[in-house]
Amino acid sequence: MVKKEQDSELFFVQVRNPAEVRRSILETLKEIVGVLQSFEKFRQIRHEKIEKINHLRVQIRQANKMLGDLRGKLPQTNLRAVVVREAPAKKNHKKKKSKAPEQKKEKTPQKKDNAPPKKDMTEVEKLESQLSAIEGKLKNLI
């Protein structure tokens, strides 16, 4: 009974230039995947930033604790250190930098200390594979 009602309600709409419509849909999907990739990179950078801030907080707490211990172990005195201010010397000589060290720095790849989590990489890889599939479909339409 349900199938008969569904069959009677079915209708078709003619789409002019179906290839053009499909191409525009695929281009839109390509843009969406690009936005999702940039959002995933943003989330990853934000996560790394939070981790580094927390690590820095721990280090500051440890440094403050060590400074308190050091002050407790030093003897109490009323002497103050005299601050001597030196006049800033004018720099007339400019050092010439050689181009060889700059070239070496550019050629050596920089390594990240903190590797991104596997979960984020898999999501980015999924998005990249979807993007390549969409680009392949676009090439077939052209």
> What is residue 90's predicted lDDT score, i.e. its pLDDT?
63
- Confidence at 74, pLDDT banded by 50, 70, 90: confident
140 vs 45, residue with greater confidence: 45
Residues of the chain with pLDDT > 90, as a percent, come to 37
> What is residue 104's predicted lDDT score, i.e. its pLDDT?
47
Among residues 81, 65, 85, which one has the least CA distance to residue 73?
A: 65
- Confidence at 58, pLDDT banded by 50, 70, 90: very high
Cα–Cα distance measured from residue 9 to residue 3, given in angstroms and rounded to the nearest whole number: 10
Question: How is the chain split into domains, by residue range?
Answer: 17-66+123-142
> What is residue 105's predicted lDDT score, i.e. its pLDDT?
47
Among residues 42, 28, 26, 48, which one has the least CA distance to residue 135?
A: 26
Condensed to tens digits (0 to 9), the pLDDT of residues 104-138 reads 444 445 545 555 455 556 788 888 888 888 888 88
Cα–Cα distance measured from residue 14 to residue 5, given in angstroms and rounded to the nearest whole number: 22
Which residues contact residue 36 at a Cβ distance below 8 angstroms, ignoring those fewer than 6 apart?
127
